[in-house]
């Protein structure tokens, strides 16, 4: 019998245990980014910008040069880095609390300026690190510690759809929403990330990938139930697909 290894840890991923909760799909998104960095051969010139939130230790897990930005300011830091080092490949990796709440101004203006950066946006519809508070992306009726009876649109408005909002702008080159809840979605997510990084390598402009992700701990669900909940409740609210592709 001959054995051939057909799946292993990507080389640009550090061999450590992550701090994420069991079943948290941040790890899948990390691995996909690392796989794309390996496959495109850009590890030496890639710069990551880590957010504030659960993914704050991104720089411990993906073996590339990295900044840690102030809360929500990752697109601004990434813009500066890309302008000063135009040959580098710069990406920010942000959660929904970071990007869609405190960092709303930075992401909208970075996108509107058409900065040549890639933004990976993890949307799990809740604040993870701080303990499960309502996020701008929390679904109507979804329970969180700050809306224990479910999000009431009369008090807190409706979930913000970042992809749809950014795709009204003229400058962004690539905008897509994917998921990593189940393998069939994960395979498509990887292709979207590849296109996003390729958009930047080709100098076509701003690229943005929203990844629908689970937060079993703060949703109060078992990991497998959380993936089903995402399919049933988040996908109708946040439809998957490509919103903008480079001409």
Partner 1 sequence: MAKGRVGVNEERCKSCGLCVAACPMKVLRISDKINSKGYRPVEQFKEGCIACKMCAITCPDVVLEVFLLEDDKACNA
Positions in the binding site for partner 1 (CB under 8 A): 1-9, 13, 17-18, 20-28, 31, 182-183, 186-187, 216, 222-224, 227
Q: CB of 122: closest distance to partner 1 in angstroms?
A: 12
Q: CB of 21: closest distance to partner 1 in angstroms?
A: 8
**3-state SS, residue 117:** coil
Q: Which residues contact 128 (CB under 8 A, 6 or more apart)?
A: 24, 53, 54, 95, 97, 215, 217, 218
Q: CB of 20: closest distance to partner 1 in angstroms?
A: 7
Q: CB of 191: closest distance to partner 1 in angstroms?
A: 13
- Give the C-alpha distances (Å, rounded to integers) separating 57 from 48, 50, 153, 162: 11, 7, 33, 24
Residue closer to partner 1 (CB basis): 118 or 186: 186
Signed CA dihedral, 223, 21, 211, 46: sign only: negative
Tell me the Cα Rg of the chain: 17
CA 166 to chain centroid, in Å, comes to 15
Phi and psi torsions of 64, nearest 5°: -135, 165
Residue closer to partner 1 (CB basis): 53 or 205: 53
Residue closer to partner 1 (CB basis): 76 or 193: 193
Residue closer to partner 1 (CB basis): 122 or 160: 122
Q: CB of 56: closest distance to partner 1 in angstroms?
A: 17
Residue closer to partner 1 (CB basis): 3 or 232: 3
């Amino acid at each position: 019998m001959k054995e051939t290894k057909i799946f292993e840890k990507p080389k640009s991923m550090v061999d450590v245990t992550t701090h994420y909760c069991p079943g948290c799909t941040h790890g899948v998104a990390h691995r996909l980014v690392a796989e794309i960095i390996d496959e495109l051969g850009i590890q030496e010139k890639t710069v990551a910008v880590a957010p504030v939130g659960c993914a704050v230790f991104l720089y411990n897990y993906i073996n590339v040069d990295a900044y840690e930005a102030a809360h929500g300011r990752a697109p601004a830091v990434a813009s500066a880095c890309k302008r000063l080092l135009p040959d580098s490949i710069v990406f920010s990796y942000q959660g929904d609390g970071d990007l869609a709440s405190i960092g709303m101004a930075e992401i909208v203006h970075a996108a509107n300026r058409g900065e040549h950066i890639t933004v990976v946006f993890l949307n799990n519809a809740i604040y993870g690190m701080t303990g499960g508070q309502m996020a701008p992306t929390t679904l109507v009726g979804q329970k969180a510690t700050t809306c224990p009876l479910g999000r009431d649109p009369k008090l807190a408005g409706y979930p913000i759809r970042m992809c749809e909002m950014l795709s009204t702008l003229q400058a962004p080159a690539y905008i897509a929403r994917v998921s990593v809840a189940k393998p069939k979605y994960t395979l498509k997510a990887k292709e979207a990330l590849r296109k996003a990084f390729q958009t930047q390598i080709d100098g076509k402009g701003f690229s943005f990938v929203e990844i629908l992700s689970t937060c079993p701990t703060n949703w109060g669900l078992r990991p497998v139930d959380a993936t089903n909940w995402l399919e049933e409740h988040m996908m109708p609210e946040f439809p998957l697909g490509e919103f903008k592709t480079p001409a």
